[in-house]
């Protein structure tokens, strides 16, 4: 199943408290449960003003539905076609 990276613009995301991050995570998980097993949240990176979230889903539309149902921004949704790291250089 395809993997997607979602960019979410959230001002001061890096300053969110532990309780706020727990609340956001719980809301996301509740929406995911209601949508069924075809969409999965892998993890997210919290930066200064953005969250970068990695999801596995059948298509971009499903990722957008999750954002809409949860009230989360989805400023961009990009499909991941390959993953590289330093070991890729070894051929």
Tens of pLDDT, residue by residue over 19-72, are 999 999 999 999 999 999 999 999 999 999 999 999 999 999 999 999 999 999
Report pTM. 0.92
**Residue 74: which residues within 8 A CB-CB, separation 6 or more?**
6, 7, 8, 63, 64, 67
Q: Does domain 3-81 have CATH number 3.30.70.3090?
A: yes
């Amino acid at each position: 199943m395809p993997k997607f990276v979602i960019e979410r613009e959230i001002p001061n995301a890096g300053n969110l408290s532990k309780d706020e991050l727990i609340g956001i995570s719980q809301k996301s998980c509740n929406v995911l449960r209601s949508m069924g097993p075809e969409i999965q949240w892998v993890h997210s990176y919290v930066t200064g003003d953005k969250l970068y979230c990695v999801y596995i889903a059948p298509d971009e539309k499903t990722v957008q539905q999750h954002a809409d149902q949860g009230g989360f921004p989805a400023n961009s949704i990009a499909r991941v076609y390959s993953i590289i790291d330093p070991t890729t250089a070894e051929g």
